[in-house]
């Protein structure tokens, strides 16, 4: 964990997986914050991506930062950490994501702090995301988040986007893995 870990670091991580693994015809899926790095990565790997899936995720616009669209709780945590000179903000809890009770301890054990640089760097987008042949947004309906509700409604209203509502907490892959698998296979 360092101050110099930024959104570009995570975008480069995704791009390098495509480059070094020779990935083609991919379904690129980003969960939650993951909507940021996949949106940036698609700018460089567009020819190798057949579909993109935003899984209860942010769908950033050119020039935005994570701080611009953070929830009140997220913004407060980021601003407090910045004020304190911290490198990261604390990890949220599984309970705050409304993960099913039986899996909360396991999810909490996997949570890590998030570097602040990913929330303060502006993303640069040229519209590559809209040129992906298949696009989908999956909304976890048992997790209250007005920002994700807005992204879901936007996707629903746009031509070329498919939308899915899943009765789940924020971590659909934990709460409804079979349903998510079907959605991802369908997106392919």
Spatial distance between the Cα atoms of 109 and 186, rounded to a whole number of angstroms: 31
> What does the pLDDT look like over 52-89, one tens digit per residue?
999 999 999 999 999 999 988 888 989 999 999 999 99
Pairing of strands 26-31, 114-115: unpaired
Per-residue model confidence (pLDDT) at position 7: 97
Tokens of 54: 């935003």
pLDDT tens by residue, 104-132: 999 999 999 999 999 999 999 999 999 99
CA pair distance 62, 71, nearest whole angstrom = 19
* pTM of this structure: 0.95
Q: How far apart are CA 42 and CA 133, in angstroms?
A: 12
Structural domains for the chain: 7-187 (3.40.50.1820)
Identify the pLDDT of residue 71: 85
């Amino acid at each position: 964990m360092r101050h110099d870990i930024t959104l570009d670091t995570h975008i480069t991580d995704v791009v390098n997986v495509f480059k070094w693994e020779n990935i083609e015809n991919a379904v690129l899926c980003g969960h939650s914050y993951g909507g940021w790095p996949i949106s940036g990565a698609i700018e460089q790997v567009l020819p190798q991506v057949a579909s993109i899936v935003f899984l209860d995720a942010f769908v950033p616009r050119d020039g935005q930062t994570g701080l611009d669209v953070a929830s009140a709780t997220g913004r407060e945590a980021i601003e407090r950490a910045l004020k304190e000179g911290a490198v990261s903000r604390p990890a949220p809890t599984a309970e705050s994501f409304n993960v099913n009770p039986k899996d909360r301890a396991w999810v909490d054990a996997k949570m890590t702090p998030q570097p602040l640089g990913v929330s303060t760097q502006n993303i640069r987008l040229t519209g590559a995301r809209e040129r992906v042949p298949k696009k989908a947004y999956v909304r976890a309906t048992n997790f209250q988040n007005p920002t994700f509700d807005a992204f879901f409604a936007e996707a629903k209203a746009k031509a070329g986007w498919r939308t899915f509502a899943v009765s789940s907490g924020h971590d659909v892959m934990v709460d409804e893995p079979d349903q998510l698998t079907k959605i991802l296979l369908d997106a392919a």
